[in-house]
Structure 1
Amino acid sequence: MRAQVNRRPRLQTESIPPPVGGLNTLDAVANMEPTDAIIMDNYFPGTADVPLRNGYETWAPGLTNVETLAAYTSGTQKKLFAVAGGKVYDVTASQAVGSGNVVVEGPFTGVAGQTTLALSQTYGKSADLLVHFDGQYQGYDQYTVGTNSITFNSPIPPGTVQVYIESIGAPDASITAEGPFTGVGGQTVLTLSQAYAGATSLLVYFDGTYQGYDQYSVSANHITFTSAIPNYVGKVYIIGVSIGNIATEGPFTGSGQTTLTLSKVYPSSANLVIHFDGGFQGPDQYTISGTTLTFAAAVPAGVLKIYVVAFGSSIISGLTNSRWQWVNFSNAGLEFLIMVNGVDPMLLYNGTTWQEVTESSTPIAITGVDPHLFGCVNVFANRLWFGIIDTLQSYYLPIGQVGGAAALFDIGPQTTLGGYLMGMATWNIDDSAGLNPYIVFVSSEGECVVYQGSDPSQASSFGIAAHFRIGRPPQRRFYEKYGSDIVFLGSDGLTPLSQALISDRSTINASLTRKISPSVTSDVAAYGAHYGWQVVLYPDGKKLLVNVPTAEDVSSYTYVMNTTTNAWCRFTGWNAICYCYFNGALYFGGPNGVALADVGSSDGLNAINGDIKPAFSYFGNRGVQKYFKMIKPVFLASSSFALTMDLSTDFSNSLPTSTPSFSQGSVAPWNTTPWDKVPWSGAQVIQSDWESIDGIGYAATYRMRTATANVSFSIESATWLYEPQVEVTL
């Protein structure tokens, strides 16, 4: 008899949903939920699909190592401040910010014939200053700087009406005098002593005449002029600023106008260096208001180009460090921003002016304790509370006051593990008995003491409500208000206070970070001593973020939770040192300044690197081996993009050897692209191409990596084509 032939189809297909369950580093890969992911870097798990995360836009460039962002809100007035390098900057508007103070010396008049002028302060070297006799630049080799003075090699020429002297807003070490170059007439390329970011990092003069930033280009340590240097030029002066805190506006063309509109807001006219063609215009010859630059007189006829170079400035300088804790506090209709760091005087901002608060400062002082020692701050029961650095002592002020006599409240006797006060939080419970306020004191050892009441001076009405333990918190920004609850970050994860009160800390289900608890525990063990840990809620983006500083002030990644589904992922590439939720948006401070986060589809000018590996699947049959041939991921995308797909079988964790190709999408910047000059499509496209794979195993998954800029897309599903092992039927 003839044997029966198995005519069942050899090739099968199966569609797998996107990993909306998010990152899972807790469960065994063999028993993970099919909607979870083993790797999820720079993807945000949605409710129905998994989109690539948004990027960021540079907001306040020029600063280095921004370690604090603090928000001030009073009615409709909103301010965002950054602290970097021991200085406080206003970064409310998207603007160029320098790493030092811009100082205008003079202008000096009636000084013709003199060789020495007195300055308001001492500068490090000649190149730190820009000196002009009326409109003509004076090279840095034509004078020396001393203690509060500048001395010229030759007397100031007769007929000089005004001498302008301005310091560049940057640290002395970052300013380099290149040259002066002599005998270079006819040349187009000069070699510099170091590499610079671009043309905006340089100020160039041919003798006393300014050369616009559109008249040359910079590549590494070479500057190339669009035209050869004229033979009559005796010296070429180049001033380089290596930290990149220079911004440029324009150049603007035309003459006769009295106002120009700038792209950013600058603090004052002293922050601008302006030239009409090659001639300098002093800061007393114009004013700025918002983004409007107004000249005292109309731009003269014949001026071809107006060059505007901008530097930033700080509000407060001379601080010991930039690691501050802060709160907003309301007092009789006034709003205050209070900042402390345990070393410097307390900083107080009332919406108009800043004050350093000490025991004897005016108009506001705090007595009974040295405000230099305030390491953390909290608002509870309409009082300001302060924790004393490296102790378990706290102090509180009178109701509704930002100054006055501080009273001691020592929680040391209530603790058993020692350590010091890491932070304080206010917790409110609204139940059948009404609104019950609590203040929570958390020690560096994870010991929590909770008090209830409103008047700490009355022991009969202010007492301990709870005493429990969480994992040791890493650094001071370890908690965040989350709805009516508070979440605490410790070595055992991110735990809501309400759950910590009723659960044993060994109960892992009490932690919001349950699915990624091994990763969080490992990170705290490895990086817990690094500055930069922070928990921040971003309600507009439906995100709760936990920042992990892998290298202090250099690099970090951030765990991000979808507050709708509690699914986690990890964001890399932002390298945030601190975060701040301000005016409905998320900002972060990093090694290179301040950025507006979670916007756009590129990281500044860089690509977003996506990396995702969903859970392994048995495709409905655990005991059958399969030969995997192809996979078709389905995306909704703004434009087509390249991807690299690698196959993993039977729980393999091998690293891919290929590199994803870069994909650049088209972009039409808001308010800069001419009307009716770009396509109107804006519609999403479906990308669903078959990708060849090859592997044999019982279970499989893919690892997909991308490098995209100005491309937004989301993973909708993945269809697999495979051949299962077939038993021959006789």
Structure 2
Amino acid sequence: MRRPVRRSQAGQLSFPAPVAGLVENTPMAAPNPLGAEVLENFIPTQRGIAVRGGATQYAYINASVAAMFGYAAGGNSKLFAASASAIFDVTDSISSASSPNSGALIWGSGVWGTSTWGKSETPLAGGFTSGDWSAQQIGTSGGDFLIAVNGSDPAQIYDGTDMNPLTGSAVNEIDFDGMTAAFSVGETLTGGSSGATAEILSIIQLTGSTGTLKLGAITGGPFTDDEEITSAGGAAFANGASASASALTITGVTTSDLSHVWLYQNRMFFVQKNSLKAWYLPSGSVGGAAQDVSLAGVFRRGGKLLFGGTWSLDSGDGMDDKCLFVSDLGEVAVYSGVDPSSASTWAFEGRYDIGKPLGKNATAQIGGDFLVATDDGIVPISAAIQRDPSALSLSAVTGPIETTWSDEARRASDDVQLIKWTAGDLMLAVFPQADRMLTANLQTTAWATQTGWHGTCGATYSSGVFVGRDDGFVMKLDSGGTDDGAPFTARVCFSFNDMGDPMAYKVPQLMRGAYFADDSFDAKFSVSAEYDVKFPAAPSAVASTSGALVWGSGAWGVGTWAGDVESPRMGVLGNWEAVSGGGHTLAPMVQITSGGAQKLPVELVRVDFIAESGGRVA
């Protein structure tokens, strides 16, 4: 006998914001209730998901940005960007009050009469053959210095004011004007009257015909004012006599062979390119006689030394720090001690395997651990010494986004960079060839994708985070409400939910959102069904309260809009909105478009969902 059909009934379900971020490593039929199927242009926090800020133009170097690094000593902070041939000081933004340089018009960025002029930066050092710089700052008794190496050109040292080559001899300099043919690094400069000669180590090209040459040891000199100076390819006139620029030297190794630099136990360590050899300087020094450390008998698979680093077990600098040497094939050698020249104070602790590193800058020191981005994921060194290499993926920081990480790593070159942005509580993974960035909350490790944040490299400076791009712009991230003037949409698809009855067909009726916010915006609600994520067209960037929020009466029960713009604290409960669709398993989706001049201060904390469950035969 046929039993009666149960009547359909409406059910309400609340979905907390996916604070666990993007989660891909759980079964879709048994999902993480705090995870998301899609999380794009939102930043997971500990209480919700916040619409990220935009990306605004900060500086311009008129060439593809290949590397970025910072310097900070007391009140003197600098941000540097490097092209393939020069290093630029980009500390001052293009919106600063400083006068724009000639020829720095940002083509295509505006209309005649309303467009703005960018500031094309002046090189701090140049004439290089590579922009693949690695930089490290050290504090010494003589001051704070930054050393940069690229494995092709002489090392560079910055003392807070000037940047000079760092080689086996003292550095001199001479200004020039009236240039009729360009000089090149490595050529020998000759004075027409004085007969002085010196090797050209670096070139600062100020204008088309003026600049400064950094020189090695001068023989038969000095160079004199107004004399003609020539090289194999260059010709100009001396604009003043030659003078001393820096007395700092490194002996024992050719600094143009050094490709990576790091600080361990107050010593500067370097990788010698295309070798299994590292070099180090005397403690607390930026110069002197370099000594070598060979890893030839340590790494079993060969390859070459790619980078090194410091693994701080206590999140600080102390006696329990370990010195890491990592090969391009994914072998890690761990040492402890303070002086590699003494067997009593330097000890080999072990060799371990990880995945293939994605570049010499694909590392970050976070929470007392040393993270390495590999083709298998971001691996903590603490896990590498405890697990078999085949099981490292279980400990990878990128475990929740294993599919997304594999997709990006497969397409990436060996120039991936990890950036720890403490002020923003984020770790950023920069893939130079990608049109998006992956970000993780430093506290919760919740991941998200950011489609408008992309670049070739990046760095933190002051309390901000910056990326360089192929078009020559340095962009400040989490700044403003657009991506370089274009609106962007933050969108989330929550985990699919069968509402406790996988056999029943559900028809969605209404949705609403609960937020922390401090500005007008328009949220668009929709529903995906049967594990098939399909977003409708994004909402307009034009602010609208129609059907979204009731100003002054829609907060948690009785509250009103208020709060700090950067971290809004007052809650707002939106009105119910009709949604359509249907299926046995449903996932609510929310889209919010940002298009204003300022960052949109909106944080989604919950979605309420009403669906009608279809009848079933009992």
TM-score in same-fold range (> 0.5): yes
Q: 1:89 to 1:62 in 2, by over 3 A?
A: closer
| Aligned residues of 2:377 and 2:398 also touching (Cα < 8 A) | yes
**Partner of residue 621 from structure 1, selected from 497, 501, 506:** 501
**Cα distance per residue 1:193-226 (max 9 Å; x no partner):** xx743357xxxxxxxxxxxxx4xx68xxxxxxxx
**Cα distance per residue 1:484-534 (max 9 Å; x no partner):** 22111112211222222122231433221111123212321221x253x11
| Matches of 2:544 and 2:474, distance apart in 1 | 25
In the alignment, residue 513 of structure 1 is paired with which amino acid?
T
SS in 2 for 1:414: coil
Match of 1:300 in 2: none
Matched, 1:583 2:467: no
Matched, 1:465 2:349: yes
Larger C-alpha radius of gyration, 1 or 2?
1
SS in 1 for 2:319: strand
**Partner of residue 703 from structure 1, selected from 577, 586, 589:** 589
**Partner of residue 440 from structure 1, selected from 310, 314, 324:** 324
Matched, 1:491 2:375: yes
Matched, 1:510 2:395: yes
1:557-636 to structure 2, matched below 5 A, reads 557-591=436-470, 592-636=472-516
**Cα distance per residue 1:97-133 (max 9 Å; x no partner):** 9xxx96xxxxxxxxxxxxxxxxxxxxxxxxxxxxxxx
Match of 2:147 in 1: 338
Q: 1:659 to 1:9 in 2, by over 3 A?
A: closer
| Matches of 1:579 and 1:388, distance apart in 2 | 24
1:444 Cα offset (Å): 0.4
| Aligned residues of 2:277 and 2:305 also touching (Cα < 8 A) | yes
In the alignment, residue 606 of structure 2 is paired with which amino acid?
S
Match of 1:454 in 2: 338
SS in 1 for 2:404: helix
Match of 1:480 in 2: 364
Q: 1:636 to 1:562 in 2, by over 3 A?
A: same
Match of 2:605 in 1: 716
Match of 1:388 in 2: 272
SS in 2 for 1:25: coil
In the alignment, residue 608 of structure 2 is paired with which amino acid?
T
Q: 1:339 to 1:665 in 2, by over 3 A?
A: farther
Match of 1:658 in 2: 537
SS in 2 for 1:605: coil
Matched, 1:539 2:422: yes
**Cα distance per residue 1:368-417 (max 9 Å; x no partner):** 22111111011122221110112111111222222222212111211111
1:325 Cα offset (Å): 0.5
Q: 1:617 to 1:657 in 2, by over 3 A?
A: closer
1:726 Cα offset (Å): 2.6
SS in 2 for 1:40: strand
The number of residues matched between the two structures is 512
Matched, 1:326 2:135: yes
**Partner of residue 501 from structure 1, selected from 355, 378, 385:** 385
In the alignment, residue 708 of structure 1 is paired with which amino acid?
S
TM-score computed with the length of structure 2 as normaliser: 0.76
Match of 1:256 in 2: none
| Matches of 1:690 and 1:428, distance apart in 2 | 51
1:221-236 to structure 2, matched below 5 A, reads none
1:699 Cα offset (Å): 0.9
Match of 1:33 in 2: 32
SS in 2 for 1:519: helix
1:725 Cα offset (Å): 2.4
| Matches of 2:14 and 2:269, distance apart in 1 | 57
1:88-127 to structure 2, matched below 5 A, reads 88-95=87-94
| Aligned residues of 1:644 and 1:661 also touching (Cα < 8 A) | no
Q: 1:561 to 1:450 in 2, by over 3 A?
A: same
| Aligned residues of 2:364 and 2:371 also touching (Cα < 8 A) | yes
In the alignment, residue 567 of structure 1 is paired with which amino acid?
A
| Aligned residues of 2:527 and 2:588 also touching (Cα < 8 A) | yes
In the alignment, residue 720 of structure 1 is paired with which amino acid?
F
In the alignment, residue 109 of structure 2 is paired with which amino acid?
A
Match of 2:409 in 1: 524
| Aligned residues of 2:13 and 2:610 also touching (Cα < 8 A) | yes
In the alignment, residue 374 of structure 2 is paired with which amino acid?
G
Q: 1:537 to 1:724 in 2, by over 3 A?
A: same
| Aligned residues of 2:85 and 2:126 also touching (Cα < 8 A) | yes
| Aligned residues of 1:57 and 1:599 also touching (Cα < 8 A) | yes
| Matches of 1:722 and 1:515, distance apart in 2 | 29
SS in 2 for 1:466: strand
* Identity, % of aligned positions: 26
1:428 Cα offset (Å): 2.7
**Cα distance per residue 1:642-688 (max 9 Å; x no partner):** 344442111124x446343233589xxxxxxxxxxxx9997868362
| Aligned residues of 1:547 and 1:556 also touching (Cα < 8 A) | no
Q: 1:727 to 1:523 in 2, by over 3 A?
A: closer
SS in 1 for 2:594: strand
In the alignment, residue 581 of structure 1 is paired with which amino acid?
T
Q: 1:14 to 1:400 in 2, by over 3 A?
A: closer
In the alignment, residue 42 of structure 1 is paired with which amino acid?
N
Match of 1:694 in 2: 580
| Matches of 1:58 and 1:347, distance apart in 2 | 27
1:561 Cα offset (Å): 1.3
Q: Which moved further from structure 2: 348-357 or 50-59?
A: 50-59
| Aligned residues of 1:633 and 1:718 also touching (Cα < 8 A) | yes
Q: 1:418 to 1:311 in 2, by over 3 A?
A: closer
> What do you get for the CA RMSD once the two structures are aligned?
3.0
**Cα distance per residue 1:534-574 (max 9 Å; x no partner):** 1111122211222223x2xxx44222111222211111202
| Aligned residues of 1:88 and 1:315 also touching (Cα < 8 A) | yes
Match of 1:648 in 2: 528
Match of 1:357 in 2: 166
Ranges in structure 2 where 5+ consecutive residues have no aligned partner = 172-246, 546-560
| Aligned residues of 1:43 and 1:610 also touching (Cα < 8 A) | yes
Q: 1:497 to 1:311 in 2, by over 3 A?
A: closer
| Matches of 2:62 and 2:458, distance apart in 1 | 15
Match of 1:408 in 2: 292
Match of 2:198 in 1: none
SS in 1 for 2:423: helix
Q: Which moved further from structure 2: 348-357 or 74-83?
A: 74-83
| Matches of 1:539 and 1:680, distance apart in 2 | 27
1:9 Cα offset (Å): 7.0
| Matches of 1:727 and 1:437, distance apart in 2 | 64
1:342 Cα offset (Å): 0.6
| Matches of 1:518 and 1:4, distance apart in 2 | 46
| Aligned residues of 1:96 and 1:312 also touching (Cα < 8 A) | no
| Matches of 2:427 and 2:374, distance apart in 1 | 15
Match of 1:211 in 2: none
| Matches of 1:478 and 1:312, distance apart in 2 | 27
**Cα distance per residue 1:257-315 (max 9 Å; x no partner):** xxxxxxxxxxxxxxxxxxxxxxxxxxxxxxxxxxxxxxxxxxxxxxxxxxxxx654222
Ranges in structure 1 where 5+ consecutive residues have no aligned partner = 103-167, 176-194, 201-213, 219-243, 248-309, 667-678
